[in-house]
Structure 1
Amino acid sequence: MTFVIRAASEADLPHLYEMAKLTGGGFTNLPADRRALKAKLERSSNAFARTEGALDDEAFVLILENTETGEVRGTCQLFTQVGQRHPFYSYRLSTLTQHSDQLGRTFRAEMLSLTTDLEGSSEVGGLFLHPGERAGGLGMLLARSRYLFIKMHRRRFADRILAELRGIIDEAGGSPFWDGLAGRFFGMNFQDADQYNAIHGHQFIADLMPKHPIYTAMLSESARAAIGLPHPSGRAAMRMLENEGFAFENYIDIFDGGPTMTARTDNVRSIREARESAVIAIDREGGTPALVARGTLADFRCALGNVREVAEAIVLDAASAKAIGAREDDKVTYMART
């Protein structure tokens, strides 16, 4: 069974909608709203259609497809430059130290400050794998295909990159962090705010969110405990990001308190280590497991395969060559699956 990552098209709307209904909420980049998803696919199609290489405010949607059945089983997204159409807000966690000579005591207080520090960064996000496919390395294929896409279209992305991880969501679908902080200022529950943000953007945050720092000691215990923690389903994703070179630098999501991971784009492992080579031959023999990709923009394809390096070229296995449409003498981008 072979799976391929490809560019999404407007015909994928029903598939995205069905996957969006499985996310369980708190998944801003994949809202269970047909109109919002249709707009996302239209924006992605425009990005794939633009051939100029300069950096702009764009979004690319990729799809994981079973090549044997044609079923769509996952998706992921790339945003080239956040914070251009709407402010990109984060909370920055910091510490204020104060000392009283009279009392002979030092106090250290944690604070959350609203910031747009990450504006202009690229973002990888929107990764969702159908629950029935969460085995066999497909999550890794989805995640790392984004980095190969960036490698192959480097001029379309910024020098800094981020990934937001979903925060703690309780059994009722609420967010302890939202309830303890922002919910007090907005008069709406987490699900409503998250849905509104997914469809309309962050401007309402700029309108209503208090601009002064928030002392975490003033929050409820459950809200404090959620700061910077990923949802249990996102722990593996956080480890993958750390393995790629992303780090948590005290930025958190303003809705659910989940961690925002950041890295220098060219230092991301899969981008740094990916290589381009010509395919000297295609056969059915084994080789080193690798991710292989070819094609520009809407023709982009990525799959798991086997690669043997021969001098300055490679030998590629037949199944992955077919999945990505590679022939002898074609150039492909690849990196070892580790």
Structure 2
Amino acid sequence: MSFRIRAARQDDLQYLYEMAKLTGGGFTNLPPDRDALRGKLTRSEAAFARTDDGIEDELFVLVLENIETGEVRGTCQIFTQVGQRWPFYSYRIGTLTKHSEELGRTFRAELLNLTNDLEGCSEVGGLFLHPNERAGGLGMLLARSRYLFIRAHRARFADRVLAELRGIIDEGGGSPFWDGVAGRFFGMSFQEADEFNAVHGNQFIADLMPKHPIYIAMLPDSARQVIGLPHPTGRAAMRMLEREGFQYEKYVDIFDGGPTMIAPTDRVRTIENARDAEIAHIGEGSEDVLLATGRLTDFRAAYGRVSAEDDGAITLDVAGAQALGVAAGDTLSYIER
């Protein structure tokens, strides 16, 4: 089977809804709510329709399409600048040091500080791959296509990019971190807060969350032990982010305590190392690569094979050309798999 990444459309709603029901909770960017998903698609269509450069508060939704059947089997999202419509909250883990001369001891306490430090960053998120397609590198295709999209539209994205990884969720769909921290102030379960945030935004966090630092040592063990840890299904995603140059800088999600990864946009490996080339021939390639071409609604990404010519042009394999809808004389971006 052949797959490609393309811009999402309104007629992808049912596919997105069916995938959202498979996420298992804690997946704010893909809520199992038709109206919320429809709103995301509408917002994304507006972003794709704007042709001038400059950073605005926008969302781009991409989907993974089976070229043979037309079915959508995965999705991912890119936010151009977080914290513009609603404040973007994170917990920053800090250290408070105190010394007692009488006791001759130094005490160091870790604190959770509610911050808006990451406001204004771009964000890659909302990545979900249908469970039946989790082979053949399709998760990597979804993830890295976002960076090639950013590269193709660099002026519309910030100088830093972040990725929030889902934190630990228990078998009942609850969050030990939420129960030990925020749940005590909100009077609602993690599932209720997560669903409300996905549909209505997180202004209620600003209204109800205490602004003073929280001593981690005072939290229950169940909450302390999961701070900064990704959900087991997100460990591979965390490794992919690290390979791209993202780092964990002690920011965690305010709902589930999952890690937030951050990188300078221009130093993301795929963005920094991708090359542009003209297609000289359609034939047989020798190197397995990730390909991308087009702008905005014409953006496409897929796997293919290329061979470099002496003049910097490339030969592209037939399957890759068909997936992208390109021919000799067209230009594309590529990077090794």
CA distance in 2, matches of 1:268, 1:257: 24
Q: In structure 1, what is the equivalent of residue 173 of structure 2?
A: 173
Give, in angstroms, the shift of residue 287 of structure 1.
Answer: 1.3
1:304 aligns with 2:315: no
Structure 2: segments with no counterpart, 5+ residues:
none
Give, in angstroms, the shift of residue 28 of structure 1.
Answer: 0.3
> Secondary structure in 2 aligned to 1:211?
coil
Letter in 1 for 2:270: S
CA distance in 2, matches of 1:286, 1:262: 35
Are the counterparts in 2 of residues 2 and 320 from structure 1 also a CA contact under 8 Å?
no
CA distance in 2, matches of 1:212, 1:304: 49
Q: In structure 2, what is the equivalent of residue 220 of structure 1?
A: 220
Q: In structure 1, what is the equivalent of residue 111 of structure 2?
A: 111
Letter in 2 for 1:75: T
CA distance in 2, matches of 1:219, 1:76: 34
Q: In structure 1, what is the equivalent of residue 289 of structure 2?
A: 290
- 1:177-228: CA deviation from partner (whole Å, max 9, x where unpaired): 0000000000000000000001111100000000000000110000000100
Matches of residues 62-141 of structure 1 in structure 2 within 5 Å? Answer: 62-141=62-141
Matches of residues 12-23 of structure 1 in structure 2 within 5 Å? Answer: 12-23=12-23
Matches of residues 123-202 of structure 1 in structure 2 within 5 Å? Answer: 123-202=123-202
Give, in angstroms, the shift of residue 90 of structure 1.
Answer: 0.1
Letter in 1 for 2:308: E
Are the counterparts in 1 of residues 285 and 315 from structure 2 also a CA contact under 8 Å?
no
Give, in angstroms, the shift of residue 70 of structure 1.
Answer: 1.0
Are the counterparts in 2 of residues 228 and 250 from structure 1 also a CA contact under 8 Å?
yes
Give, in angstroms, the shift of residue 175 of structure 1.
Answer: 0.0
Give, in angstroms, the shift of residue 52 of structure 1.
Answer: 0.5
> Secondary structure in 2 aligned to 1:144?
helix
CA distance in 1, matches of 2:266, 2:285: 31
Q: Percent of counterpart pairs with the same letter?
A: 70
Q: In structure 2, what is the equivalent of residue 210 of structure 1?
A: 210
- 1:248-280: CA deviation from partner (whole Å, max 9, x where unpaired): 000000000000000000000000001111000
Which ranges of 4 or more aligned residues in structure 1 deviate by more than 4 Å?
Answer: none
Give, in angstroms, the shift of residue 312 of structure 1.
Answer: 1.3
Give, in angstroms, the shift of residue 286 of structure 1.
Answer: 3.5
CA distance in 2, matches of 1:218, 1:181: 10
CA distance in 2, matches of 1:276, 1:43: 30
CA distance in 2, matches of 1:112, 1:105: 23
**Number of residue pairs aligned between Structure 1 and Structure 2:** 336
CA distance in 1, matches of 2:314, 2:116: 44
- 1:112-158: CA deviation from partner (whole Å, max 9, x where unpaired): 00000000000000000000000110000000000000010000100
Are the counterparts in 2 of residues 44 and 59 from structure 1 also a CA contact under 8 Å?
yes
Matches of residues 38-77 of structure 1 in structure 2 within 5 Å? Answer: 38-77=38-77
Are the counterparts in 1 of residues 307 and 316 from structure 2 also a CA contact under 8 Å?
yes
Give, in angstroms, the shift of residue 69 of structure 1.
Answer: 1.1
Return closer, same or farther for 1:203/1:123 CA change in 2, 3 Å cut-off: same
Q: In structure 1, what is the equivalent of residue 229 of structure 2?
A: 229
Give, in angstroms, the shift of residue 291 of structure 1.
Answer: 0.6
> Secondary structure in 2 aligned to 1:197?
helix
> Secondary structure in 2 aligned to 1:52?
coil
CA distance in 2, matches of 1:254, 1:117: 13
Q: In structure 1, what is the equivalent of residue 25 of structure 2?
A: 25
> Secondary structure in 2 aligned to 1:226?
coil
- 1:272-307: CA deviation from partner (whole Å, max 9, x where unpaired): 001111000101x23100011111100100000001
Letter in 2 for 1:138: L
- 1:78-134: CA deviation from partner (whole Å, max 9, x where unpaired): 000000000000000011111000111111100000000000000000000000000
Letter in 1 for 2:305: N
Q: CA RMSD in A?
A: 0.5
Give, in angstroms, the shift of residue 165 of structure 1.
Answer: 0.0
> Secondary structure in 1 aligned to 2:334?
strand
Matches of residues 223-262 of structure 1 in structure 2 within 5 Å? Answer: 223-262=223-262
CA distance in 1, matches of 2:127, 2:212: 33
Q: In structure 2, what is the equivalent of residue 317 of structure 1?
A: 317
Structure 1: segments with no counterpart, 5+ residues:
none
